[in-house]
């Protein structure tokens, strides 16, 4: 019998029923966010904060990005930490809470802006509980693990930041008096940098080199990135709280940006050293994400200067910073990484006990390549038009972009469902004929 070795990831893998609903829900949230983008077009050219913008942003960050990340992490944590997930029940409870809380919040923002309505408080509380369960599950899993790598440190740290971000969000609704201490900026950056970017830095740094097949990378970039990003974030949050002057904010922002450049450098080296020269759809979207990140970093840097370059520049920089991060970098990364993860989860579910007995499809055979290529094209087009719309304050361009983004979301969802609904397909195995074994006395 094949020895089941310690440290093999699949024996620690969670049940697919924990992970798969996250992928499905997130796809539909992306559709919803694209529709909300269409209706937010007017607001985006005139303000950075409105009921529609807040609603769209929270569908994006909670329903699309966080939901997907939760699902992917429940699959990935057992792999990188080499332990079983602490609790599948907690994971499923967290999914339900986030799944219900998000639309409650989105509807509430749309209809009552930042009013402390029952729906808003209920939605916010459900989301907070969901995050709490996620963090507890992650921490208790990490505690069991012997693997104390820098990547794992990123994952655990990001959970803490998320908890604080969401708590802050709820607090702002219940006690709006804290808004005077820049709590909106604090909430946003806790979420963007503390949760999303810290998590992505940790996970991408494990997965990208593995998918590229790149070796001998300088891990010092990652350790440096961890301290620079987290240190810079603390610096930034304190600066916001104390309402420090513009140049201090710029210094903090620059520190964080340097941290991301170190992260980009690490992955760029992986890209240059890759043995897999041709990029599949998963890696195409992922590499594109890194290119788009430069737009976000540039816009973020300009935003840090506040109104030093005038209100128009400030407004455009802020909107481009946010939109390019969520509809650009994060969305492209998720679009790509779905193809690198979901098919394998399904493949293991259907074929794990059939390999060696039958010829099975490969995970890469489960999606429609034509649809994938189409959504890559529609995404790039949508993003370019969206950027143009934001730069030139054109409602029409933003609406066209939103339609293209919706098409992207529909095509992506089609492929997500195609993979999720893959039916078992078995063929007989064909082998080279071995020479007959000579008979011995033992026979």
Partner 1 sequence: MATINNLSEQEKEILEIIKTIPDPEVGVNIVDLGLIYEVSYNETDRRIDIKMTLSARGCPVGDAILQQVQTVVSNMYPGFYVDVDLVWEPAWTPELITEDGKAALDGGF
In the complex with partner 1, the residue whose CB is nearer, 238 or 355, is 355
What are the φ/ψ torsions at residue 350 (nearest 5 degrees)? Answer: -90, -35
d(CA 167, CA 25): 23
Other Cβ atoms within 10 Å of 39 Cβ, number: 14
State in angstroms the smallest separation of the CB of 365 from partner 1: 10
Reference 23, options 55, 64, 84, 60; nearest CA is 64
Q: Which is nearer to partner 1, 194 or 363 (CB)?
A: 363
Smallest gap from Cβ 230 to partner 1, in A, equals: 24
User: How far apart are the C-alpha atoms of 75 and 84, rounded to whole Å?
Assistant: 10
Shortest distance, CB of residue 340 to partner 1, whole angstroms? 8
- Within 8 A by CB and 6+ apart from 358, the residues are 426, 427, 428, 429
Query: Residue 278 or residue 423: which is nearer to partner 1 going by CB?
Result: 278
Per-residue DSSP letter, 245: -
8 Å CB contact between 45 and 394: yes
Minimum CB–partner distance for residue 146 and partner 1 (Å)? 12
**Residue 4: other Cβ atoms inside 10 A:** 8
Of 307 and 365, CB closest to partner 1: 365
Helix, strand, coil proportions of the chain in percent (round to 5)? 75, 0, 20
Question: Smaller CB distance to partner 1: residue 9 or 218?
Answer: 9
Minimum CB distance to partner 1 smaller for 1 or for 118: 1
- Minimum distance, C-beta of residue 70 to partner 1, in the bound complex (Å): 18
Nearer to partner 1, 215 or 243 (CB): 215
- Which positions lie near partner 1, rule CB under 8 A? 1-5, 7-11, 13, 75, 79-80, 82, 206, 210-211, 213-215, 275-278, 280, 340, 344, 347-348, 351-353, 355-357, 362-364, 429-432, 434-435, 437, 440, 442
Phi and psi (nearest 5°) for 427? -130, 160
Nearest residue (CB) to partner 1, 96 versus 362? 362
Q: How far is the CB of 434 from partner 1 (least distance, A)?
A: 5
At closest approach, how far in Å is the CB of 208 from partner 1? 12
Produce one character per residue of 79-91: b if its CB has 16 or more CB atoms within 10 Å, e if not: ebbbbebbbbebb
Q: How far is the CB of 347 from partner 1 (least distance, A)?
A: 6
CA R_g for the chain:
23
Closest to partner 1 by CB, 307 vs 424, is 424
Complex with partner 1: residue 152 or 182, whichever CB lies closer: 152
Q: Count the neighbouring beta carbons within 10 Å of the beta carbon of residue 10.
A: 11
Asked if 286 contacts 341 with a C-beta cutoff of 8 angstroms, the reply is: no
């Amino acid at each position: 019998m094949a020895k089941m070795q310690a440290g093999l990831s699949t024996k620690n893998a969670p049940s697919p029923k924990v992970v798969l609903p996250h992928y499905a829900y997130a796809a539909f949230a992306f559709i919803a966010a694209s529709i909300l983008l269409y209706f937010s077009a007017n607001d985006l050219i005139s303000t950075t904060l409105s009921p529609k913008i807040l609603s769209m942003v929270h569908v994006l960050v909670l329903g699309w990005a966080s939901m997907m990340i939760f699902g992917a992490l429940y699959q990935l944590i057992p792999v990188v930490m080499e332990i079983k997930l602490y609790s599948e029940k907690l994971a499923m409870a967290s999914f339900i809470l986030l799944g219900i809380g998000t639309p409650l919040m989105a509807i509430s923002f749309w209809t009552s802006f930042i009013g402390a309505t029952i729906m808003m408080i209920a939605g916010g509380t459900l989301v907070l509980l969901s995050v709490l369960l996620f963090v507890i599950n992650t921490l208790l899993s990490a505690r069991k693990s012997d693997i104390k790598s820098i990547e794992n440190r990123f994952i655990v740290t990001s959970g803490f930041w998320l908890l604080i971000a969401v708590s802050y969000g709820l607090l702002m609704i219940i006690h709006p008096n804290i808004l005077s201490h820049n709590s909106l900026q604090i909430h946003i950056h806790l979420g963007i940098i503390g949760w999303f970017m810290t998590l992505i830095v940790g996970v991408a740094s494990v997965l990208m080199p593995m998918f590229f097949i790149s070796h001998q990378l300088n891990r010092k970039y990652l350790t440096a990135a961890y301290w620079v990003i987290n240190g810079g974030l603390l610096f930034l949050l304190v600066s916001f709280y104390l309402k420090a002057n513009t140049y201090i904010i710029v210094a903090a922002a620059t520190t964080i940006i340097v941290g991301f450049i170190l992260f980009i450098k690490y992955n760029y080296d992986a890209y240059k050293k890759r043995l897999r020269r041709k990029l599949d759809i998963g890696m195409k979207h992922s590499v594109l994400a890194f290119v788009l990140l430069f737009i976000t970093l540039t816009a973020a840097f300009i935003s840090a200067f506040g109104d030093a370059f005038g209100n128009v520049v400030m407004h455009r920089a802020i909107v481009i910073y946010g939109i390019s991060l969520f509809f650009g970098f994060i969305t492209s990364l998720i679009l790509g990484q779905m193809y690198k993860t979901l098919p394998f989860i399904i493949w293991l579910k259907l074929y794990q006990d059939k390999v060696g007995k039958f010829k099975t499809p490969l995970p890469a055979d489960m999606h429609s390549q034509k649809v994938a290529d189409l959504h890559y094209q529609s995404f790039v087009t949508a993003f370019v038009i969206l950027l143009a719309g934001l730069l030139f304050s054109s409602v029409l361009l933003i609406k066209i972009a939103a339609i293209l983004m919706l098409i992207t979301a529909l095509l992506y969802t089609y492929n997500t469902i195609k993979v999720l609904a893959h039916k078992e397909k078995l063929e007989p195995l064909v082998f080279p004929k071995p020479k007959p074994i000579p008979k011995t006395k033992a026979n």
